[in-house]
Amino acid sequence: AALAISAPPVAAQSTYTFSVSVDFTGPFADIMPSWHAGQRAMFAYWNDTKGKELGIKADYKVYDMRYDAALVASSWPGILAKDKPIMHLGMGTPDLVSLGKRLPRDEVPMIMPTAMVGLMWAPNGWHFSFRPTYSQEFAALLAELQKNLPQKRALRIATVSTQGKPGYEDQVNGVVHLAKTYPDRFAMASFVWIEDNPVSATDRIRTALRDNPDVFIVGATTAQAVSTLKALKELGRRVPIITSSQNGLPFLVSVLDPADVEGSYSVFAFAPSVEATKAQEMFKKYHSGQGVWDLSASQAAAQTLLALRTLERAAKTAGKDKVSGSAMYQALLAGPVSSDDMLGLTPAIAFDKSRPFPIGQVQAKAITVKNKQIVPVGAGWLPSPELSKW
């Protein structure tokens, strides 16, 4: 899986290369056009503005990893040798599991665009995401929902997920941990385990409904979200479901009658694409080729921005022609990147060695369907309750 897609180099500049994992053939191929558009646009934006100013050209090489850990593992040595990247832009779990351990050795930091999973929550890594764990993102919305309950009681949570898929199971484990940590605010009502593509979830949802959950968390596949909503409709019950970014509301609204999705949520730690941000403006200005400004575009844009802001800082401390992988790593740990620098896509973020996601208060944003329209939930960032590692 070699070769690359790159912009033409410009002379008399320091040029640095970022390697980028994408997935045009694997399970996330469908969101790739917009995803990659987000990255392209941000590189173009930065090179046109900050890059020009600093005399630095940020180059990028794209590798189709098919979302396959073995492929990532086998490609990486070649990437290192050929591109000498100063930073890798990962795409998902395969990058994490294949590279997580060796990045410190290779002295190349990696920035992730996806939320973390508990299994990657360890100190001293060279990989960082601007998003916390999925469970913490859910927790931010759950806390908001709990606050708005008419009575003062624990929010009853049901989960729908797949057995035997590490990432999906971990989402559930994290929420269970949340309920254990705050028993007065959250309670686990029931667990629904179904296949990725269930024939019908009705039976199991019916059983789950006996425990009167206030929400269903469906963080795994789109098909599960569809099945859950269809089951609820069949059973004549209205319980909101909470999805994540990769199986979020925009698709559900397009497949199902928006009335059925009414009141459900997606939650994630970046600004939703329906919100007006500076990033959206820049995307419109620098966008080329396929793809539109949607959740995956904004997610990838945030990842790219974080990487480029780090380059800015590393160039300042190490000197414009002396940026290296470890300089990038140092720059990442050197203090917060402001929300403005992130073009409004995230709150201010800062890292330390203790964990692979931002330190301090975890915050997220959610969207919901109101009157058949997707709208943001609340105006600001939703704070997530403090959560220890599970």
Partner 1 sequence: MLPSGVFFRDFAAEAAYLRTGPQRLALALFVLALVLLPALAGAYLVGVITLMFVTMIAVLGLQITVGMAGMINIGQSAFVGIGAFVSASLASKLGWPFWLTLPAAALAAGVSSLLFGLPALRIKGFYLALTTVAAQIVFPIGIARLPSAWFGGSSGLAVEPVSIFGHALLKQHELYYFNLAFVLLFALLAFNLKRTRVGRALIAVRDNDIAASVLGVNIGYYKLVAFFVGAVFAGVAGALLGYVVSYVTTDHFTLWLSIWYISMLIVGGMGSPLGAIFGTVVITALQESLHALGNAAAARFGSDFGAFIFPATNSVLGVLIIAILVFQPHGLLTGWNTLKAAYRIWPYRHHGG
Partner 2 sequence: MNSFLQALASGTLTGLLYGLIALSFVVIYRAARIVNLAQGEVLMAGAFTIWMMTLAAGLPTLLGSGLALLAAALIGLVIERLVFRPLIGRPTTTIVLASVALIIVLRGASQMVFGPETRPFPQVLPAGAFKLGPLHLNLALTIGAVLTLVVTEALHRFFMNTKAGLRLSAVAEDHMTALSMGISVRRSAAIAWALGASLSALAAAIYLSGAALDVSVAGIGLRALPVALLGGMESVRGATLAGVLVGVGESLASTYLDRHTSGAMSQVFPFLVMIALMLIRPQGLFGWKVIERV
- Residues near partner 1 (CB under 8 A): 1-6, 22, 24-25, 29, 32-33, 36, 62-64, 66, 69-70, 73-82, 93-94, 97-98, 100-102, 105, 117-119, 163-167, 169-170, 173, 289-291
Nearer to partner 2, 246 or 346 (CB): 246
Nearer to partner 2, 17 or 221 (CB): 221
Do 99 and 123 touch, CB atoms closer than 8 A? no
CA-to-CA distance for 349 and 342, rounded, in angstroms? 9
**DSSP classification of residue 351:** -
75 binds, among partner 1, partner 2, none (CB under 5 to 8 A by kind): partner 1
Closest contact distance (angstroms) between CB of 291 and partner 1 is 8
User: Among the candidate windows 10-18, 221-229, 277-285, 343-351, which touches partner 2 by CB under 8 A?
Assistant: 221-229
Nearer to partner 1, 121 or 265 (CB): 121
CA-to-CA distance for 314 and 86, rounded, in angstroms? 11
**DSSP classification of residue 49:** I
Closest contact distance (angstroms) between CB of 128 and partner 1 is 17
Pick the closest to residue 136 from 359, 300, 305 (CA basis).
359
Nearer to partner 2, 108 or 249 (CB): 249
36 binds, among partner 2, partner 1, none (CB under 5 to 8 A by kind): partner 1
CA-to-CA distance for 309 and 39, rounded, in angstroms? 14
Cα separations in angstroms, 55 against 15, 61, 73, 331: 9, 20, 34, 18
Nearer to partner 1, 116 or 364 (CB): 116
CA angle 87, 93, 95 (to 5 degrees): 30
Binding mask 227-266 for partner 2 (x = CB under 8 A): x--x--xxx---------------x--xxx----------
Pick the closest to residue 5 from 60, 82, 77, 79 (CA basis).
60
Closest contact distance (angstroms) between CB of 169 and partner 1 is 4
Q: Which residue has the tokens 């987000």?
A: 38
CA-to-CA distance for 286 and 296, rounded, in angstroms? 17
Strands 155-161 and 215-218: parallel
Strands 14-22 and 87-89: parallel
Nearer to partner 2, 6 or 200 (CB): 200
CA-to-CA distance for 77 and 81, rounded, in angstroms? 6
Contact between 195 and partner 2 (CB under 8 A)? yes
CA-to-CA distance for 33 and 389, rounded, in angstroms? 34
254 binds, among partner 1, partner 2, none (CB under 5 to 8 A by kind): partner 2
User: Cα 310 vs. chain centroid, distance in angstroms?
Assistant: 19
Length of the chain: 390
Nearer to partner 2, 192 or 271 (CB): 192
Closest contact distance (angstroms) between CB of 204 and partner 2 is 6
Copy the structure tokens of residue 84. Answer: 């000498």
Contact between 66 and partner 2 (CB under 8 A)? no
Residue selected from 222, 228, 346, 363 as contacting partner 2 according to rule CB under 8 A: 222
Residue selected from 89, 192, 217, 307 as contacting partner 2 according to rule CB under 8 A: 192
Binding site for partner 2 (CB under 8 A): 24-25, 27, 29-32, 163-164, 191-197, 199-200, 202-204, 206-207, 221-223, 226-227, 230, 233-235, 251, 254-256
